[in-house]
Amino acid sequence: MSDDFKIQVKKNSDMCMVSLSGRLSTSIQFPEIIHTRNIVMDCSALESINSSGVKAWIHWVSSLRQSKVFLENCPPFMVIQFGQVGGFLTENMTVGSFFVPYFSEETTETKNILYRKGTEYTDNGTVNGPEVKDSAGNVMEIDAIESQYFSFLKKAP
């Protein structure tokens, strides 16, 4: 099955910027990244994942254990995998920011809100999200099972 997964890598002496986009699925060919001290991955343009993509991801990130990996703008489907699949989020990874889905029972509106480390959550797992309102002014609820969705924060190094 062909996919539209793309990966862009920009490197300098001790930093590697990786931009991921498309569907993390069956046909991914992750590039080999020569060891750099820090790798920053922008996940904002990732669209979806399937079980083959999960396996490919785990295989790839296991080869990056020599580096510190910072994940930015992680979409909800990726955050769900953090808590559900062993090896998806490795010990050398730090989640710098991730999206949290919100839902309004009244209007059925949805929003994805970016949580940033040091602002909406801390290293020790404390979460202090913003109050989010729908177009009618109703307070929206986090649209995830919070004990599962945020569980990776307690495991963070």
Partner 1 sequence: MNLTEKYPDIFKVEEFPRIYELFGSIPVLEYPAETQHKDSLSENILVVNDESLPELVQPIFSQKAFHVVRKSASLFRLELIVAGLMILKHETFYNDPATLLLKFFKLQQSGDNMQVQRHEIKSTTEAPAVLSALRGVLPVNTGEAQAVEIGIVLDELISNALFNAPIDRHKKHLFKGRSRGEDFALPSGHSIIIQMASSPTHLMILVKDSFGSIDAGGLLRRLRQIYSDNEPPTPRVGLGGAGLGLKMVLDRVESLYLMSVPEKYTFAGALIPLNKGMKKMFATPKNLHLGLST
Contact track, partner 1, 128-157, x by CB under 8 A: -------------xxxxx--x---------
Interaction between residue 64 and partner 1 (CB under 8 A): no
Nearer to partner 1, 48 or 138 (CB): 48
Nearer to partner 1, 118 or 137 (CB): 137
Q: Which of residues 92-111 bind partner 1 (CB under 8 A)?
A: 99, 101, 103, 105, 108-110
Whole-angstrom Cα distance, residue 76 to residue 37?
27
The footprint of partner 1 on this chain (CB under 8 A) covers a number of residues equal to: 43
70 in Cβ contact with 39 (< 8 Å): yes
Element (H, E) at 101: strand 97-103
Stretch that binds partner 1, among 34-42, 83-91, 115-123, 126-134 (CB under 8 A): 83-91
Which amino acid is present at 91?
E
Whole-angstrom Cα distance, residue 27 to residue 52?
8
Stretch that binds partner 1, among 32-40, 49-57, 64-72, 131-139 (CB under 8 A): 49-57
Provide the edge-to-edge strand list for the sheet that holds 141-142. Answer: 110-116, 97-103, 141-142
Report CA-CA distances (Å) from 21 to 35, 54, 121, 145, 153: 22, 15, 25, 26, 24
Interaction between residue 84 and partner 1 (CB under 8 A): yes
| Closest distance to partner 1 from the beta carbon of 11 (Å) | 25
Question: Tokens 């001290």 correspond to what residue?
Answer: 37
Question: Tokens 């998806």 correspond to what residue?
Answer: 88
Question: Residue numbers of the site for partner 1 (CB under 8 A)?
Answer: 1-4, 25-29, 47-52, 54-55, 58-59, 62, 75-77, 80, 83-87, 99, 101, 103, 105, 108-110, 112, 141-145, 148
